[in-house]
Structure 1
Amino acid sequence: MLSENNVYIIEDLLTEEKYFLAKKYIENLLETNQENYLLKNYLAITYLCLEENDLSAAIYLELLLNIDELEIDSITETIFKIAQLKYSQHNFNLAIELYYQGLELNPNYVGAYIDLAHIFAQQSNIDLGIEVLKKLLENQPNCIIAYENLGKLWEDIKEWKNAIAVYEQSKKIEPQNLQILSSLANCYLQIDDFNSARNILKEIIKINPHHIQSYGQLGYVYLMEKKLNLVVDTWKILINQIPKIINDYQNWYQQEIVIKVNKEEVIKLNIDLIDSLQTNKSLGEISQNIGHILFKQGKYKLAIYYYQVSLEHKVENDTIYTNLIVSLFYQNQYDNINIYLEKLKVINSHQYQIITQQINSNLDNKKEDEYQINNPVNQYYETAYEWAKQNNRLETNYYPFELDNYLYLKPPKTIHKQNHPSFYFPEKIELPKPFLVKIPNGKVYLKKTEGSSAIITENNYLIGDLSPESPALSPNHPDSHPSKHSLLKSTFLPTKTTIKGKVLVLAGLLNNVYFHWLFDILPRLYLVELLGINWQDIDYILVDYRTNFQKETLQIFNIPPEKILPLSFPLYLQAEELIIPSFPGCIAWMPSWSCQYLKNKLLGYNKEQKPHKKLYITRNNAHSRRLINEQELIKLLKKNEFEIVDLESFSVKQQAELLSQAKIIISPHGSGLSNLVFCQPNTKVVEIFAPNYVYPCYWLVSNLVDLDYHYIIGETIGSFHFHSFLYPDSRLEDIYLENPKAILDLILL
C-alpha cells in the first residue's frame, strides 16, 4: 500500500515543480512496490510533467490492461487532482495534458471539460473552449453547468444570438434556473429584443420576487417602451432593495462632489433621479429627471418624449424648454421648435435670446465646419515597410531595430471565480518590430478629438502601422486593419499647413493622457537616439506641450524647446520631410525595452533599498472612476499602515521615486498606475475596476516589470442596464465596493 506520507511527499514535489526529484522518489518506492498501480499512476503523471509523453502513455496502457474499474476511478481522480493543481498554478499547457489524459480514462468527468474550457478562454482560444463544451453536451445533453459555461463564452465574445440559442435550450431542461433566465434576458436586451426580455424578466420575478437585478433590467425595458408608470414602479422596488449602496452613493455626492468647485452635473442628475424615486415625486418630476439624463447622454429622441410627458403633467421650466429645443434641432424636427421657443420666451426671455442666437449660428456642433478641403486619401499601405519597399527606399529611408518585441503574460490573480474576458490572452504575444522611417513631403493628420491619427504619403496613401485610432485594440486585431480607418471614409480634411524643413513626429493618440504619453510617445525617442539623429538635423519636433508632465519629461529627455511645434486640433500638416519613429509596439501595447528606457531616463539609477511603502492611490480629485465608498476602505488601510497619496500633486520624477519604494500598491484604474513601470520586481499591485470598464493595460505593465498583479471588480448599481443608464460611458464609471475588506483578502493571497 501507498502510505499517506508517501502521497504527501509526491504531491508536494509536484506542487513545487520538482519533477525530476518526484520521479526518482517514485522509482525508489516502486523497487519494493512493483505492482502498486497508484505509484505507477504518479510516475506516469510525473513523466507528463517532464514532457516524456511516450513513457507516460506506456504506463497507462499497461494499467488499463491490468486493473479493474474501481482502480481506474482512483487513478483518474488523482490525475484530475493534479490537473486542477496545475491549473491553479497557471501551468496551463501541463493542466491541459493532464485533463485530456484523465478524460481518456473517464470521459464523463464534467469538471475536466469545464476547466479546459476556462483554460482555452484564458489563452484567448474561445473556439476551442466552445468545442470542448459542445463535446461535453454530446456526452451529457442535460448538463446545465455546460450550458451555463457555453452561453457565457458566447457572451464573452458578444455573440448574443448564439448565447440565446444555448440558454433557450437549457431553459427547456431547467425552466426555473434563475442564472440561465437572467443571462437569457440580458442577451435579449443586448439585441434590443425588449419583448422577449420583458417576458423572461417577469418570469424571474414571479419565481423570486427578491431578484434585485431583474427589477433594474425590467425598468430599463419599460423606459425604452415609454411606459413611465411601470418604469417608476419597478425602479422604486429596485432602489428600496439596495439601501446601502444607494445611501453610500447619496452621501458620497453630498460629502465629496457637492463641496468641489466644479460639482459634476452627471452625478447630480443621477442623484436627482434616485431622490425623486425615493421621495415619491410626481410622474412629471420623475419624467423630467429622466429627460435630463437622456439629454445629457445625447439620446435626444427619447429625451423629447420624456420632456413632453413632464409638460403634460404640468412640470415646466426653462431647462426643459431649452433642452427640448436643442433635442428637436438635433432630430431635425424644426417645425416643432417655434412652439417651445415661444414658451421659453415667456418664462425666460434671456435664455430665449441665447438659444435663438445659437440656432441662427448653426447650433448643430456635429457640423464639421473646420473641414474645408476635399479628402484625397482613399488608398493605403499596410505598413511603412511596404511603402519603402514599393518605392525603392528601404536602403535610404527605412531603419528597422532588432529590439525585444515579445510580451510574456501571466494570468492575473483575483478573488472572482473566473478571470474577466479582458484578460483572455495567450501567454506569448509578438508585437510589431520598431522602426524609424523618413517620408519626403509626408503629411500628418490628427482628429480634433485626438482619437484618430494618420501619416499620409505625398501621393495620398495612408500608412497603416503609423495611423492608429481609438479604441486601442490588441495586436493584429482585425478591426485595426488600415482598410477600416475612418479617414478613408471621410469626405473632407482640415485646411493643410505646409512647413519647410524636417519635422520629427512624436504626436499620437490622446497625447495628454499620462499613460499614452509614457508608453506610446516617450519611448519613440529611444529609436531616435539609436539611429544617432542630432537635434541640429531636425527643424521642428511635432509634440504635445500642454501639460506639466509633458513639459517636465521633455526637459528631462533634453528636447530643445525652441524646436517644439505644439499640436493644434484638428491637425493637418505637410513638411518637406517627416521623420517618424514607430510606436514601441502598437498603441497601448508596449515591449519590455520601452519600460527599461523609461526607468533609466526618469529614475536615472537602480535603487538598492528594499521596497517598504504601502500605498493607496486615491482618485478622489479626478472626474471619473472614483471609489464611492472610499472612506470605508481608507479606514481599513490606515489600520494596516498604508499611506494615502494623490499623485496629481506630484511631479513625474516624484511619482517615479515614490513607486520605486512601494511593496504594495492599491488603486482604482487610472493614469496614476502608469507609474507601475518604476516599481521593483515582485511589488504587489491591486487594481480596482468599475464593473463595465475592465481594461488590462496595467496588467501588461505589471507583466513587463515582473510585478505581483491582482484585481477586483466593483459592484453594479442595481443591474447592468440601470447602472449603464446612470453611467452610459463605461470609461467614466465611478466604483462601488460592496465589501472593501476584500481588498485586504487580495493582499493576503
Structure 2
Amino acid sequence: MSLDIPFASEPLIYLKRQLKRVPAAVRLARLCKAAVRRAPCYAMRIVGTVLYPVLGDRGPLRGYHDSTSDYLRGGCGQYVALTQHADAMVPPDPFQPNLFVAVVPGARVLSESGAVIAPDHRLLADVSWAGDKAASQPWAHPALRKFELPPIQHVGGRVAIINSIQAGNYYHWMFDILPRLGLLQQSGLTADRYIISATTGFQRDTLKLLGLPDDRLSVPDAGTHIRADELVIPSLSGPVFSLSPQQHACAYLRSAFLQKGRYREPHRAIYITRGDATHRRVINEAEICDDVAALGFEVVSLSGVSFSRQVEMFAEAKIIVGPHGAGFTNAVFCDPGTVLIEFMPTGRVVDCFERLARIGRLTYHSLVCAEIDTDGRPVTNDHVVDRSALRDLIARYV
C-alpha cells in the first residue's frame, strides 16, 4: 500500500506551487530573476568606473543614461523637442520614444548599430538600440558588456548619427533609419557629415535622391568608434525593430521621394512575387500568377528594380497583391484608396502593413494562408494560397 503524497513524490514542484500562492514570495522571486539578468551590467559598470582613470574612453562603459534629455539637463549640449501629430485611426505604440534632435559636444558613436556614448563614458540608452526585445532594456545592451572598445577616430565638425540596426533590410532602412534625416530636417539643425550605411543599391539610390554626396558620409562597421566635435543625434523614429511604421516617418518618405506631377493616376494592378526568395514563398505561385494575369495584373519581382522605378510603380497602382515581405514597404507611396491584399502565412502574422495602410488611408486585406514545408514542419513560412478566396477578394475591386 502506498500513499499518493505530492510533497513526497515531487517536492520541488509542490513547493513552487505553494510559494506562488504567497504574494511576497512571488515578488521576491521576480526581484531575484531581475538581479541575475542585470548582474553582468552591474559588474561591468563597477569595473568600468574603477578602470576609467586608467583605460579612459576605451575601457568598459560606466553605465548608462536612460534618456538623452536627462543627460542634457546638466547644460552640456542642445536639445530640440519635436512633435508627432496623433491619428485616431492608428493605434498608439507602447514605449513610443519622444521625438527630438540633440547636439552633444564630444559624444561618440560605437559600432554599426550607431550606439551613442556620452562624454562621461555612459551609454545614451534611448538612442542606442541593440536589435531585439531582450536587448531593448538599457542594462542588456551589448555595449555594456565590452571590456575593451575599438580605437577612437576623431571626426571634426558637426556629425549626425543616422544609422541604426538592420540597415541592410529595406523595411528597416525606410522606416527606422531614413526618417531620422527627416527629424534632423524638421529641427532646423544641420550637419557636416553623416554616419549612415551606403553599401547596398537601395541605400545608395535613396541617399543620392536626398542629395547626400559620398564625401559627406561615414559608413559604420563593427569596429566603428567615432568621436565628433559635436554629435547631432536625431531620436529613433519609433519603436525600432518593432515592425510599427510611424506617421511622421511616412510623411517624410512621401515628401522626400514622391515627385509631384510625374506619375499617372492610379491604374495599375500589380502582383509582387517572392519567387527568388528563400522563405515566405507561395508554393502554388504558378497557378496564382496565371489567375491574376488573366485579370490584367502585372507580375513583378522587385529584385533588381531601381528605387525610383519602385516608387513610380506603387504611386500608380490601384491594387497590389502578394505575399508578406519588405516589398510592401513601398505601399507608403500609394495614393489613398489603393487596395493592398497581403498573403499572411499562419506562422508569421504581423500587422505592420495593415498599420501602414491605416496611416495612408489604403484599403487593406490579409489573406491567411496555410504553411507547407518539405518535412511537414513550418520553418520557412512557405505557404499555399486559396485560389478561390483570392479571386473572390480581387473581384470586389477589379
Q: TM-score range by the shorter chain?
A: 0.7 to 0.9
When the two structures are superposed, what TM-score results if normalisation uses the length of structure 2? 0.77
Aligned-partner Cα distance in 1 for 2:385–2:101: 49
Counterpart of 2:100 in structure 1 is 435
State the one-letter code of the partner of 2:183.
L
Q: Which residue of 1 aligns with 2:81?
A: 400
2:200 aligns with one of 534, 547, 557: 547
647 and 542 in structure 1: CA distance in 2 versus 1, 3 angstrom threshold: same
- Cα deviation digits, residues 413-452 of structure 1 (max 9, x gap): xxxxxxxxxxxxxx444733311011222121235xx5xx
SS in 2 for 1:589: coil
Per-residue CA deviations over 1:638-657 (Å, capped at 9, x if unaligned) read: 12111101122322111111
Q: Tell me which residue corresponds to 2:68.
A: 384
**1:697-716 alignment, distance < 5 Å:** 697-716=352-371
**2: CA distance, partners of 1:563 / 1:378:** 32
Q: Distance in 2 between matches of 1:492 and 1:688?
A: 46
In structure 2, what is the Cα distance between the partners aligned to 1:460 and 1:534? 25
Structure showing greater radius of gyration is 1
Partners of 2:385 and 2:124 lie apart in 1 by 48
Give the aligned partner of residue 466 of structure 1.
Answer: 127
Match of 1:532 in 2: 188
Write out aligned runs for 1:172-191 (5 A): none
Structure 1 distance, partners of 2:246, 2:331, is: 14
Measure the CA separation in 1 of the matches of 2:248 and 2:157. 31
Matched, 1:624 2:308: no
Q: Give the corresponding residue for 1:69.
A: none
1:681 is aligned to 336
Structure-1 separation of matches of 2:305 and 2:213: 24
Match of residue 723 from structure 1: 377
Q: Does the 8 Å contact 1:432/1:585 carry over to 2? A: yes
| 2:105–2:231 contact (8 Å) kept in structure 1 | yes
* Aligned with residue 564 of structure 1, among 211, 217, 223: 217
User: 2 CA distance for matches of 1:565 and 1:689?
Assistant: 38
Secondary structure of 1:499's counterpart equals strand
**Alignment partner of 1:516 is 2:169:** no
Rate the CA distance shift 1:407–1:442 in 2: closer, same or farther, 3 A. farther
Q: Distance in 2 between matches of 1:510 and 1:712?
A: 27
Read off the aligned partner of 1:617 and give its amino acid letter.
Answer: I
Question: Cα deviation per residue 1:96-153 (whole Å; 9 max; x = unaligned)?
Answer: xxxxxxxxxxxxxxxxxxxxxxxxxxxxxxxxxxxxxxxxxxxxxxxxxxxxxxxxxx
> Using a 3 Å threshold, how does the CA distance of structure 1 residues 374 and 708 change in structure 2: closer, same or farther?
same
> Which residue type is aligned with residue 326 of structure 2?
S
Q: Shift in Å at residue 579 of structure 1?
A: 0.8
The correspondence for 1:664, drawn from 293, 302, 319, is 319
* Matched position secondary structure for 1:437: strand
Cα gap change, 1:492 to 1:691, in 2 (>3 Å): farther
| Contact 1:436–1:527 (Cα < 8 Å) also in 2 | yes
Tell me, which stretches of 5 or more residues in structure 2 are unaligned?
1-56
Q: Which residue of 1 aligns with 2:251?
A: 596
CA contact 1:401–1:434 (8 Å) conserved in 2 = yes
Secondary structure of the 2:184 match is helix
Unaligned runs of 5+ in 1: 1-372, 410-426, 728-732
- How far is 1:384 from its partner? 1.1
Written as runs of structure 1 = structure 2, the 5 A alignment for 1:424-503 is 427-429=91-93, 431-446=96-111, 453-471=114-132, 480-503=136-159
Distance between the aligned counterparts of 1:622 and 1:743, measured in 2? 22
Aligned equivalents of 1:606 and 1:383: distance in 2? 43
Which residue of structure 2 lines up, in the alignment, with residue 637 of structure 1? Answer: 292
Residue-pair matches, total: 339
Deviations 1:608-658 (A, max 9, x none): 854221110111123332222211111111121111011223221111111
Structure of greater relative contact order (alpha carbons < 8 Å, 6+ residues apart): 2
Q: Cα gap change, 1:542/1:479 in structure 2, threshold over 3 Å: closer, same or farther?
A: closer
Q: Equivalent pairs: percent with the same residue?
A: 28
Cross-structure match for 2:386: 739
Q: Which amino acid in structure 2 is aligned with residue 723 of structure 1?
A: R
C-alpha contact (below 8 Å) 2:129/2:165 kept by paired residues: yes
TM-superposed CA distance for 1:674, in Å, is: 0.6
Q: Deviations over 1:374-410 (max 9, x none)?
A: 7522511111111112x224xx51111123255733x
Distance (Å, rounded) in 2 between the aligned partners of 1:528 and 1:612? 35
What is the TM-score with the length of structure 1 in the denominator?
A: 0.42
Q: Which has the higher strand share?
A: 2
More helix by share: 1
Tell me if structure 2 keeps the 8 A contact 1:685–1:707.
Answer: yes
Residues 277-292 of structure 1: pairs in structure 2 closer than 5 A = none
Q: What code does the residue aligned with 2:394 have?
A: I
Distance 1:503 1:618, change over 3 A: same
Deviations 1:269-299 (A, max 9, x none): xxxxxxxxxxxxxxxxxxxxxxxxxxxxxxx
Q: Distance in 2 between matches of 1:498 and 1:434?
A: 27
Matched letter for residue 580 of structure 1: I
Partner of 1:49: none
- Over the aligned positions, Cα root-mean-square deviation in angstroms equals 2.8
The one-letter code matched in structure 2 to 1:388 is: L
